Structure 1
Amino acid sequence: MKTRPLPPHSSGWWIRLVLFAVTWGVGRTVAADEGDSSLARARSDVMTEDQDIEIRGVFEGVLPRTTRKNALRLVLHPHFGDFHRKRYLRAPIGLRYGLTDNWDVAAAVEGYVSHGLDGVAAFSEMGFSQLEVATKYRSDWTMVPGWDMGVRLKYTHPLDHPPVELTDGFAHVVPSLTFAREIAGWPGAEMFWGTGLDLLRESSVVGSRDENEFGDHANTFVGGLVWQQGTRVYTFEATYATTALIGDFDSQHRIQLRPGVIFRIPDRFTFHSRGDWRMGVAAKFIYGPDGPEWGLSVKFRGNFDLKKMIRRN
């Protein structure tokens, strides 16, 4: 489906407001973090690191966890499901760096290549389709007593002029605020809830809207559970999104439920690639402006300690 043009400058004041709020929030919490960083490090060692369970299409919750200070990660996320869903295989590759124990930054670029299974000759088309940059801050000061708090700001922008099916043609500014806490009496489990915005700005790239996507500014509200059992992590997300509050067009709504499981792939199945490979499987149940939608996602993600790889070589 084609994207709808947004009114000129419709998102400008929202973007300025969000950037101000995030900057103020980080500044407000730095002082509080100085006295409690040891507690934050102890807490982060208990649960799985953020990058271990953030797999697009399986679990997209924004938990208040960050990469350890000075850790440099190389992240690969090939979309093998594209072999039967699209004419091109996408393979994002990115870096993630821990500025402090509570603050990290990340950048990724999504490449694509025609796989030859659906009308386009293999390797005849290739390029880059999207750039993504993000930063996340986990605060020891919280607005909700008893709950850990984290804030993330993510920006995505289409690159070059990729095939229409690979982009919606918009740049996205996505700020989010999340709270989480461990569940007493349930080892390895925690619950979370939060809210965010998806602010759009038109680019010069032509794209198409996926089923049940809005093509408009939206608010999101999310809640769920994460349960870690050894090398497996069970997840559940419930998300409500709406354009009614900040959208420029008719009000639209979307409800999504997504249970999933993520587990570490043993080294013997990854050719001892020195990385930490994860496989995630999730079911999705969606009801949105285009009606009901359901399906199953199987995703893979490789996480490599880049500093360790460089030292070994």
Structure 2
Amino acid sequence: MSVPLMPPLPTRRFLRPAYALLGLAWLTAGWAADDRSTADMLRERVLRMTDFLDTMLPGVLEENNITLQFKPKFVDVRAAEYVRFPLELRYGLTDRVELQGGLVPFVPNPFNGGRDHRWGPGEAKLGARFDIGQTLRFFNETTVGFETRVPIGKPPTRFNDHYTHVKPFVSAARQLLRWPSTTLYANVSYDRSVKLTERGPPPPDVTRRHIVEFSPGLLFKPSEFGYFAEYRFRHIDEPTESRLAHQIQFGSVWDVPLARSEKLKLPGKWQLELAYHVEHEEGRGDDHGVSARVNWRTTLREVLEHTKVSRLW
């Protein structure tokens, strides 16, 4: 008498759906990783370094991008009776046109006293930047634009000299092929003070000035750390005289990667700047010192998402 054998298991019938599910999960994970990678790259590009200290680099935001920028100056804490808090909003109108607006309120310096140890709205800033590409053949990138600074109330004269300032400028840069990660840049601007609105007479210590400035420099940035050297030439025109000023400045920039900021639970993009400068102004003597600044940038979308999460909690 023969014992019947167990029928073979239908392995293929069960394995095929399992393989299909595993493959779908792998593809989904890959797509999600690609989406995260693409989103990080886009965010890094929107929040890329476009300036350091008082130096502009060419470039504009892409269309429909909105960023917030906060750049407190530590020199105020050391040398002034007030502390400024510049806040700027930038909007990419098109891929080649960017609009800017901001406020620079000030508060009393807790470490220094004096007549300017007070609060105030400071000044308003409006401007625009236009990317004109390689119009200047030597440079790879060129941006032209203008900036307007309007005093609000009666800010300290060292902060704003009672006049509205209109400043057209050109910013250009070229990547050097022989020295990788090195950028040659140059900025040209004309800062003209005008009477935009009827205000009271200017303070007695204010002299109306128009300044033409030319500032070439080199930026070496092979990684998140960068180093720069810059020369500034200024022609200062006043009602009674004209004179020249020369400045040499060098320093470093730490462009903190987004991944590092997220690990430290710091929102947005952070940039730490440190420089030493030596300046000579004809008839006014020499000046030198250290400048330090924190430059924080984020997108409006991140601010709104963070606000929404905070409300939920």
TM-score by length of 1: 0.73
RMSD (Å), alpha carbons: 3.1
Residue pair 2:251, 2:275 contacting (<8 A) in 1 also: yes
Look at both structures and tell me which one has the larger radius of gyration over its CA atoms: 2
Are 2:254 and 1:257 equivalent residues in the alignment?
no
Structure 2, unaligned runs of 5 or more: 1-41, 309-313
Shift of 1:50: 8.2
2:227 aligns with 234
- Which of residues 49, 54, 70 in structure 2 aligns to 1:52? 49
Structure 1, unaligned runs of 5 or more: 1-44
Tell me which amino acid in the other structure corresponds to 1:262: V
Tell me which amino acid in the other structure corresponds to 2:64: N
1:33 aligns with none
1:179 aligns with 172
Are 2:86 and 1:86 equivalent residues in the alignment?
no
Are 2:312 and 1:295 equivalent residues in the alignment?
no
User: Cα deviations across residues 222-277 of structure 1 (Å, max 9, x unaligned)?
Assistant: 21112222212222221111136xx54312111111112111355379x6231112
Tell me which amino acid in the other structure corresponds to 2:194: R
Tell me which amino acid in the other structure corresponds to 2:95: D
Residue pair 2:143, 2:171 contacting (<8 A) in 1 also: yes
Greater RCO (CA < 8 Å, at least 6 residues apart): 1
Give the 5 Å matches for 1:54-73. 54-55=51-52, 58=53, 60-73=54-67
Give the 5 Å matches for 1:1-313. 52-55=49-52, 58=53, 60-119=54-113, 125-145=118-138, 147-202=140-195, 204=199, 206=202, 215-243=208-236, 248-265=239-256, 266-267=260-261, 272-289=265-282, 290-311=284-305, 313=308
User: Runs of 4+ in structure 1 displaced over 4 angstroms?
Assistant: 47-51, 205-210
Count of paired positions: 259
Residue pair 2:181, 2:221 contacting (<8 A) in 1 also: yes
Shift of 1:109: 0.4
Residue pair 1:73, 1:303 contacting (<8 A) in 2 also: yes
Residue pair 1:135, 1:153 contacting (<8 A) in 2 also: yes
Separation in 2 of the partners of 1:70 and 1:208? 45
Separation in 1 of the partners of 2:47 and 2:203? 30
Of 162-171 and 302-311, more deviation after overlay is shown by: 162-171
Separation in 1 of the partners of 2:183 and 2:290? 24
Indicate the percent of aligned positions where both proteins have the same amino acid.
19
